[in-house]
Amino acid sequence: MVLFGTIINGLTIITGTVIGKFLSKIPERIKSTVMHGIGLAVTVLGIQMALKTEQFLFVILSLVLGAVLGEWVDLDDKLNKCGQWLEKKIGRIGNGQISQGFVTATLIFVIGAMAVLGALDSGINNNHDILITKAIIDGFTALILTTTLGIGVLFSFIPVVLYQGTIALLAAQIVALVPDSLLEQMILELTATGGVMIMAIGLNLTGITKIRVANLLPGILIVVLLVALVFNVQIFIS
């Protein structure tokens, strides 16, 4: 079952959120310090990911072009409106932060190499080890985020399942069309570009910045296209 790992990932996010909800009634002072701690940890994770790049120019171009496209489409506004819609529907059982929890958790869980690698491995080899490992990490992260951002974190399982599930279902076609060496480069630069976005999320959580991270998301697609373009140009020249 190619979607097994993805389904487990979704369930751990839900489970972590439910447990975190029971732990959410802690003093605001503690919540604030915990949020700053999470933000710092996420920032460090993003830096580690970003430093994996072998072509930093790809990262810069992808972020710049992605920001232009994202601001034009205004993905941040659309994602926040999804969260606000959820808030209107179930706001009475939340704590007024459903939109923020949904957007923040979605970005953290979707951006990163494990989602792509795990989904590809599930789809091609029916091996779910990577996604199950990611599921455990996401579950604990959801628990911690819920203590400060509330029940909105739970709904991040929807985009996670859709994103990873789509990659898993199309994995065989992706691998058939993309050479191994190109796929490796794509994942490397995708990880680095995503790392910068993760770092931005961390800075937002600490309150240092208010970066519209969702508007940088097109950079994920652009970096893949840039790597593919350069790869094919190099083959053509050689």
Mean pLDDT of the chain: 87
One-letter amino acid identity for 27?
P
pLDDT the model gives residue 97: 67
How far apart (Å, rounded) are the C-alpha atoms in residues 48 and 203?
Answer: 15
Q: Report which listed range, 15-24, 82-91, 109-118, is most confident.
A: 15-24
**pLDDT bucket at 112, cuts 50 / 70 / 90:** confident
pLDDT at position 132 is 93
The CB-based long-range contact list for 23-31 (8 Å cut-off, 24+ gap) reads: 23/143, 23/146, 23/147, 24/95, 24/146, 24/147, 24/148, 24/150, 26/147, 31/147, 31/148
Q: What is the pLDDT of residues 170-185, one digit of tens each?
A: 987 887 888 888 988 9
pLDDT of residue 161: 95
**pLDDT at 228 (0 to 100):** 93
For the segment 101-113, the average pLDDT, to the nearest whole number, is 86
Given this model, what pLDDT does residue 58 score? 94
Query: Is the pLDDT at 149 greater than 90, yes or no?
Result: no
Say what percent of the chain tops pLDDT 90.
Answer: 39
Whether the CB-CB separation of 193 and 223 falls below 8 Å is answered with yes
Q: What is the number of other CB atoms lying within 10 angstroms of the CB of residue 224?
A: 22
Burial 187-215 (b: 16+ CB within 10 A, else e): bbbbbbbbbbbbbbbbbbbeeeeebbbbb
Token pair recorded at residue 85: 């819609």
Residue 100 has pLDDT above 90, yes or no: no
H or E element, residue 9: helix 4-22
pLDDT tens-digit series, residues 56-93: 999 999 999 999 999 999 988 888 888 777 777 765 55
**Domains of the chain: which residue ranges?**
4-233
The residues, ordered by sequence, that sit 6+ positions from 45 with a Cβ below 8 Å of its Cβ are: 195, 198, 199, 202
Phi, psi angles (nearest 5°) of residue 212: -80, 80
Average pLDDT over residues 184-197: 90
